[in-house]
Homo-oligomer: A and B are copies of this chain.
Amino acid sequence: MASCILLLAFLLLTDSQTSRLSSKNPKDVKADDFFFSGLDTPGDTANKVGSNVTLVNVEKIAGLNTLGISLARIDFTPYGLNPPHIHPRATEILTVLEGSLYVGFVTSNPDNRLFAKVINEGDVFVFPQGLIHFQFNYGTKNAVAIAAMGSQNPGVITVANAVFGSKPPISRDVLAKAFQADKKTIDWLQA
């Protein structure tokens, strides 16, 4: 297998091709290893937040391995929200295909400044790596966006889920103090 790794590195692109493709004989690599189908299909937005992300990362296109980029389609119902979240390993650049979105990110301490804007079809917005950001469909029609991220596996941390929905839960004491809230509110948010 070691020679496969090396051969593939020659056939293709990078110095450190390490997982998926590398377990394949380079002669067997084909165009489909660089291909994914389905971004024209709206994601299922029948959920509590009214949005859906279809992420095309190295899990979906093995040929992305070591190449440091991925793509996503985001669908929004009216009032649908891609809730405040973080990509721990990637900056995101997004363009609106349909509808309007209120988008924003918040900078780090001590300022916690919100940079936000309503963007429309054909507009582009950037969310720097590791910062909390969101997209909200204020409109009365569906909205669709395409986003690219600078990692083959950017990761997504939805703040509300990670903080109030982790398994096992973070202790009530911690959350009550962090959010300066009483424990009933925390219990309720965790539920």
Contact = CB atoms under 8 A, between A and B. Distances in A.
Contacts of A10: 59, 108, 153, 155
Contacts of A141: none
Contact of A113 (B122, B130, B166): B166
Copies of the polypeptide in the assembly: 6
A52 interface: no
Interface size, A (range):
35 or more
B111 A11 contact: yes
A91 B69 contact: yes
A166 B93 contact: no
Contacts of A46: none
Contacts of A90: 69
Classify the interface of chain A: helix, strand, loop or mixed. mixed
A174 B97 CA distance: 21
A152 B15 contact: yes
B81 A178 contact: yes
Contacts of A64: 93, 126
B178 A134 contact: yes
A87 B108 CA distance: 9
A79 B109 CA distance: 23
A88 B83 CA distance: 18
